[in-house]
Structure 1
Amino acid sequence: MTNIVASMAGSVWKVLVAEGEEVKEGQDVVILESMKMEIPIAAEKTGVVKKIHIKEGDFVNDDDLLIDVE
C-alpha cells in the first residue's frame, strides 16, 4: 500500500479521485491551496484508491495522510 501525503500545509481545495478508482503514477489526486496558490498532489504509483482520509475544505499539515493507494 502507498500513502499519499500532503507536501505542505494548506486547505484541501479539490479531491480529484474517488474510493475504488484506479489511478496512474503521476496522476493528480488532490489539489491543495496554500498562500493563494494551487498545489497538485500526484499519485506516486499506479493502483486503486482504497481510502480517502480528507474532504474538500479540510486543513492539512505537511506529511498528513491524504489517500491510501493499493
Structure 2
Amino acid sequence: MAEVTASMAGTVLSVLVAPGDRVEAGQDVVILESMKMEVPVQAEQGGIVSEVKVEEGSFVGDGEVLLVLSVES
C-alpha cells in the first residue's frame, strides 16, 4: 500500500482517478487549488487505486492522504 498525500493545503479542484484505475509513477491524480493556482498532485509510484479519500470541493491540509494505491511488486 502507498498513500498519495497533499503537497500543500488547498481545495480539491478535481480527482482524476477512481478506485480500480491503474496509475503510473509521475501521473497526475488530483488537482488542488491553492492561492488561485492549480497544483497537480502526482503519484510517486505506480499501482492500482484502492481508495479515494477526498471529494471535489473539499479542503485538505498539507500532508493529508488523498488516495491509497495497491502497489504491484
Band the TM-score falls in, shorter-chain normalisation: over 0.9
What is the rounded CA distance, in whole Å, between the counterparts of 1:40 and 1:2 in structure 2?
Answer: 18
What is the rounded CA distance, in whole Å, between the counterparts of 1:55 and 1:47 in structure 2?
Answer: 20
For structure 1, the residue ranges without an aligned partner over 5 or more in a row are none
What is the rounded CA distance, in whole Å, between the counterparts of 2:46 and 2:63 in structure 1?
Answer: 20
- Compute the TM-score of the two structures, normalised by the length of structure 2: 0.95
- Overall identity of the aligned pairs, in %: 53
- Compute the TM-score of the two structures, normalised by the length of structure 1: 0.99
1:26 counterpart residue number: 26
Aligned-pair CA distance for 1:32:
0.1
| Cα displacement string for residues 29-55 of structure 1 (whole angstroms, at most 9, x for unaligned residues) | 000000000000000111000000000
For structure 2, the residue ranges without an aligned partner over 5 or more in a row are none
What is the rounded CA distance, in whole Å, between the counterparts of 1:44 and 1:67 in structure 2?
Answer: 12
Q: List 4+ stretches of structure 1 deviating above 2 A.
A: none
- Measured on the aligned residues, the alpha-carbon RMSD in Å equals 0.4
What is the rounded CA distance, in whole Å, between the counterparts of 1:7 and 1:18 in structure 2?
Answer: 20
